[in-house]
Amino acid sequence: MAKKQLQLVFIGFALLLTAHNVLSADEHMAEAVNVTILSSNLANGATIGKWELSALVEADNHCVLFDAGRYPDTVIHNARALNVDLSCVTDVVLSHFHFDHTTGLMPLVRTLRKQMLPLKGTFEALGVEFIEHAKPAEVVPGVWVTGTMECVYPEKNFPSTIKINIDNKWVEDHVPDSQALTVVTNKGHIVLLGYGHSGVGNALAHIRTKIKRAPIHALMSGLHLYAASDETLGWTADVLREIGVEHLMAGHCTGIEPLIRLRVGLNLNRRTAVVGAMGSRFVYGEGIKPTVIAM
């Protein structure tokens, strides 16, 4: 049996760039997709809600964990409460470097390794491989990471007081390395954003330009709009309506009121636009499966 490793997928500007080129996303389209929110702000029942994000993406026979949360036990606890088996995870995609998306990684790796120990005889070794992506890349069949975002819209979803030094020049940090993940299907993209620091409009434009020109079948996770002005929310709704978003399941840093504003602005309803609460799922072919608290 081939060697099986847990891969951690980042984006970067240098160092460990892989040899992936931007290939045609027509080569593989996922047929069975199930996205489960494992960590977010809103929760009920036996799950725990905190300021962090993690989601399990199941695409055909592959499992990818998108972000790892902030606290050492939240994702593990919630997965158990939801009866979600994480032992299928082979790849972890970290959307960006902020603590509420990355700090829970080491406890998760330890737990996954323990779950794999009974299968040790079938593996040559257990290990972790770090991969950085500066460009779009297919991490498993049908599942893509965006790499560095190109900004075509003037979105600023990160404090303008934060500056970074590039070529000995201090410039405003719009966090272009805040990447997204998309699952390509026959109905279009199923997109997950971590924090949307580069802007949700920019993320979707980047995905449709660099990966595949297709509809946005579903958009979920963090859009970083909780403190957005009425003007910004109206503008964002206009952009997303123009791009075309069929389902919206946004949580974490999105905010409750901004989600409702987007629902109205996109002409969606309580079945097609809900808060991405703990345990909420999106099932390809069936739509959003919200928890009671998110309905």
- Predicted confidence (pLDDT) per residue in 7-20, tens digit: 444 433 222 223 33
From 94-103, 163-172, 178-187, 192-201, the region with the lowest mean pLDDT:
94-103
- Please, what is the end-to-end C-alpha distance for the chain in angstroms? 45
Split at pLDDT 50, 70, 90, the class of 149 is: confident
The average pLDDT across 133-159 equals 82
8 Å CB contact between 55 and 76: no
pLDDT at 151: 79
> How far is residue 156's CA from residue 62's CA, in Å, rounded to a whole number?
34
> How far is residue 250's CA from residue 124's CA, in Å, rounded to a whole number?
40
> Is the pLDDT confidence value at 158 over 80?
no
Instruction: Decide if 104 is inside a domain.
Output: yes
pLDDT at 21: 36
- Residue 135 is part of a domain; what is its CATH number? 3.60.15.10
How many residues would you count in the chain?
295
Instruction: Decide if 223 is inside a domain.
Output: yes
Domain total in the chain: 1
> How far is residue 184's CA from residue 54's CA, in Å, rounded to a whole number?
20
Domain hosting 63: range is 6-294
Instruction: Decide if 1 is inside a domain.
Output: no
Going by C-alpha positions, the residue among 96, 109, 191 that lies closest to residue 148 is 96
What percentage of the chain exceeds 90 in pLDDT?
35
pLDDT at 11: 37
Instruction: Decide if 109 is inside a domain.
Output: yes
From 38-47, 93-102, 229-238, the region with the lowest mean pLDDT:
93-102
The average pLDDT across 54-64 equals 93
Instruction: Decide if 163 is inside a domain.
Output: yes
The average pLDDT across 143-158 equals 80
Q: How far is CA 209 from the centre of its chain?
A: 18
Instruction: Decide if 32 is inside a domain.
Output: yes
> Is the pLDDT confidence value at 131 over 50?
yes
103 or 120: which leads in pLDDT: 103
Look-up: residue for tokens 């905010």? 255
> How far is residue 261's CA from residue 113's CA, in Å, rounded to a whole number?
42
> Is the pLDDT confidence value at 75 over 90?
no
> How far is residue 30's CA from residue 242's CA, in Å, rounded to a whole number?
25
